[in-house]
């Protein structure tokens, strides 16, 4: 009985006592024990009347039991819907209702606040805590550790992921068994993962990075994971000598570099460091290489596609770029108005095609037709360029494009210049309303620790090096840029803060 994801990621470990998860308390969870937990959880889902194709919305802390719930959904043919633990009840109300979830799983501490949401959506509410306790765990404990896998096809939906959506309604991206499995295969091949790898896993599992990239790749390759609840600097430094690889967001790497205990000797045995989910500063690339001798491998993905491109395992890992298309993936840069492919080096909207590209948006056929073409290309909305060597550089989101006095301004170009200025740690550039130009440029600067920025000198350098229409008309110095839980700068907040600066 075929179930593509289960057959590839989980079935090979049936009856095997090899280690899958190394836990913070020093215990280890074997593949066999994990699969027994998966089966008990799958039986609990069936007991609750959750049928193949139904959605299970999950808003819980990271734990082995939460990971087993994902795997149980795969085996039972159920659609897994992970939700950011930072979401508020009003946000969760939309996701649970829009998905028509059959089951909503939350932390026990949130049950009273979220029960009305489940009731309004007409679904069951059960709980699962970060320590593995909760009503769903209690129900699963009483179930059989045998469960017959439910048949699924390549095109059946395995997961429903909602976009973070800074404007308009969040869209539910339908990811199929083929989407997720093809991406795991491509990444195992590109990043050379094997059964000898031990991945340091400090990412959340409500996001595709920690769930579909880190976990699926490890399962596909046959390796193990050091499974930490979150990124804690002391725990990560303690675990690194036992790992061969690590996946993280840029914040992980900047925090490591800020700690004197993070040395070349500590990571001399490591094979690979991967960064994603938000752009990695070139300065971080260089500092990391100088400190450790390792070049961080940066890649690029989206909710709708999982991973699309990656810097090479062998070959030059270029700071500021996201490398080349993965095996089986095509990319092209197109004019945002006409859709025509643009010349090499020109900036336009990135289009992606491949087996990783999602099936469409949940209950949004018109939005699906707008962004997913009949020939299979998905219009990402990301501004990009491809250089003469084929490296892809993401310039920014299409919605971040600034049009001032009829001129197109790409924030990334200005940010790269500002990041090089003396004392600047990082920057963010946004467009805000202007009575004469329609929009104008505002630059938000974060100084290096202990430094005071010389704004007069920075403005003078800007005047010398940037065309007049690109120059920021306002500089704002802040302690830190607003970011979401995956480290992406929330430019909508910056636009809102300065929306009336020129009115």
- Tell which CATH architecture fits domain 401-497: 2-Layer Sandwich (3.30)
Query: Fold match between 4-10+28-152 and 185-398?
Result: yes
Of the chain, the percentage scoring pLDDT greater than 70 comes to 99
Cα 426 to Cα 82, 246, 282, 454: the distances in Å are 31, 24, 10, 15
Query: How many angstroms separate the CA atoms of 220 and 216, rounded?
Result: 6
Residues contacting 18, CB < 8 A, separation 6+: 30, 31, 224
Q: Hey, what long-range contacts does 321-325 have (CB within 8 A, 24 or more apart)?
A: 321/387, 321/391, 321/392, 321/393, 322/298, 322/391, 322/392, 322/393, 322/394, 323/297, 323/298, 323/299, 323/391, 323/392, 324/390, 324/391, 324/392, 325/354, 325/392
pLDDT at 168: 58
Q: What is the pLDDT of residues 188-224, one digit of tens each?
A: 999 999 999 999 999 999 999 999 999 999 999 999 9
The superfamily (CATH) of domain 185-398 is ANL, N-terminal domain (3.40.50.12780)
Q: What is the pTM of this model?
A: 0.86
Select from 3.10.580.10, 3.30.230.70, 3.40.50.1010, 3.40.50.980 the CATH code of 4-10+28-152. Answer: 3.40.50.980
Q: What is the CA radius of gyration of the chain?
A: 23
Q: What is the pLDDT of residues 52-92, one digit of tens each?
A: 999 999 999 999 999 999 999 999 999 999 998 988 888 89
């Amino acid at each position: 009985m075929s179930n593509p994801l289960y057959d590839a990621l989980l079935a090979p470990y049936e009856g095997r006592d090899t280690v899958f998860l190394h836990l913070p308390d020093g215990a280890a969870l074997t593949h066999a024990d994990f699969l027994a937990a998966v089966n008990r959880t799958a039986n609990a889902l069936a007991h609750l009347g959750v049928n193949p194709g139904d959605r299970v919305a999950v808003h819980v802390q990271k734990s082995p039991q939460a990971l087993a719930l994902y795997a149980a959904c795969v085996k039972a043919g159920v659609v897994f819907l992970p939700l950011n633990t930072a979401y508020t009840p009003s946000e969760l109300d939309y996701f649970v209702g829009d998905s028509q979830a059959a089951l909503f799983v939350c932390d026990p501490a949130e049950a009273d606040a979220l029960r009305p949401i489940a009731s309004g959506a007409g679904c069951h509410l059960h709980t699962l805590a970060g320590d593995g306790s909760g009503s769903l765990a209690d129900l699963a404990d009483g179930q059989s550790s045998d469960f017959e896998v439910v048949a699924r096809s390549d095109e059946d939906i395995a997961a429903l992921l909602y976009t973070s959506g800074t404007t308009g309604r969040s869209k539910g991206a339908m990811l199929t068994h083929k989407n997720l499995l093809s991406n795991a295969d491509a990444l195992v091949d590109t990043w050379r993962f094997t059964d000898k790898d031990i991945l340091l896993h400090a990412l959340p599992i409500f996001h595709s990075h920690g769930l579909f990239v880190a976990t699926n790749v490890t399962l596909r390759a046959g390796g193990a994971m050091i499974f930490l609840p979150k990124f804690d600097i002391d725990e990560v430094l303690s675990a690194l000598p036992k790992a061969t690889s690590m996946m993280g967001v840029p914040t992980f790497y900047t925090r490591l570099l800020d700690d004197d205990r993070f040395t070349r000797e500590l990571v001399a045995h490591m094979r690979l460091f991967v960064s994603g989910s938000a752009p990695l500063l070139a300065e971080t690339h260089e500092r990391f290489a100088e400190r450790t001798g390792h070049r961080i491998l940066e890649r690029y993905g989206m909710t709708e596609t999982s991973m699309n491109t990656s810097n090479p395992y062998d070959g030059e890992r270029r700071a500021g770029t996201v490398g080349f298309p993965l095996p089986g993936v095509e990319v092209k840069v197109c004019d945002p108005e006409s859709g025509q492919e643009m010349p090499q080096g020109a900036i336009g909207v990135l289009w992606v095609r491949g087996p990783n590209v999602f099936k469409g948006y949940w209950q949004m056929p018109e939005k699906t037709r707008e962004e997913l073409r009949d020939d299979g290309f998905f219009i990402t909305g990301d501004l990009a360029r491809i250089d003469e060597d084929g490296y892809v550089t993401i310039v920014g989101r299409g919605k971040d494009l600034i049009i001032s006095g009829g001129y197109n301004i790409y924030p990334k170009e200005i940010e790269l210049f500002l990041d090089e200025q003396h004392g600047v740690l990082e920057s963010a550039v946004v467009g805000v309303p202007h009575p004469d130009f329609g929009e104008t440029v505002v630059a938000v600067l974060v100084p290096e620790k202990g430094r005071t920025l010389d704004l007069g000198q920075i403005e003078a350098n800007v005047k010398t090096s940037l065309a007049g229409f690109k120059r920021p008309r306002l500089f704002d110095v802040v302690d830190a840029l607003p970011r979401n839980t995956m480290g992406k700068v929330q430019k909508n907040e910056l636009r809102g803060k300065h929306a009336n600066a020129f009115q």
